[in-house]
Amino acid sequence: MLVGNDLVDLLDPQADPQSIHQGFDERVMTDEENRLIVSALDPHRLRWMLWAAKESAFKVVKKVDPSAVFHPKAFEVELTTFDGAHVCHSKTDFETVLYHSPKWVHAVTTLEAKSVKSDSRLHSRVLSLESQNRSFDSSMEVRTFTRKALGSWLGISWAEVEIVTENRIPRALKRGQALGIDLSLSHDGNFVACAWIEAA
């Protein structure tokens, strides 16, 4: 079982509709996705829900095929509910759970067709870094946060958990031994996130 996740800070200046490059939606969204954005009550949130679903599905594809290149339009998103979506890419179907707050959207995607929302093996966490009165390294912060989340889940000190990267794909170790999970990390603006799924 593989998992991907993507996080968007809705308040980040780069996500602001006024900052988006002209033609962004046409370049990365399908015709149907653009129709949904134009007709949405909150097009800003919907745009980034669709984007996060695409990115999180791509992270799963990248684990299967390390040579894969991200072409956003090739990931077709169909929203099934406010907190769920199907993503289709090259005849492969993915299921996505969409988590929300007033400040961010978080997409968690798996390959399996069964309901992700009811899968007790799937875990995800989001952390705000807004209260930190210092500059921070998002890449370091997301690894530290993930180590602490996994340590709490395992009931051990987070110092015993290590995050390593192979071909830009994160793996989690406990005392040097691989954990029986698939892991995904994400960060954007003032937030970091992780998701993992336990082996069947």
Mean pLDDT by 10 residues, the chain (200 residues): 96 87 89 95 96 98 93 96 93 94 97 66 93 80 97 96 92 93 96 92
Task: Please give the pLDDT value at position 126.
Answer: 97
Sign of CA dihedral 51, 37, 129, 175: negative
Task: Please give the pLDDT value at position 118.
Answer: 61
Task: Please give the pLDDT value at position 81.
Answer: 87
Q: With 0-12 CB in 10 A as exposed, 13-18 as middle and 19+ as buried, what is 13?
A: exposed
**Which residue has tokens 């978080």?**
106
3-198 adopts what CATH topology?
Ribosomal Protein L22; Chain A (3.90.470)
Task: Please give the pLDDT value at position 69.
Answer: 92
Q: How far is it, in rounded angstroms, from Cα 200 to Cα 191?
A: 30
Give 180's contacts (C-beta < 8 A, 6+ positions apart): 198, 199
Task: Please give the pLDDT value at position 158.
Answer: 95
Domain ranges of the chain: 3-198
Task: Please give the pLDDT value at position 113.
Answer: 56
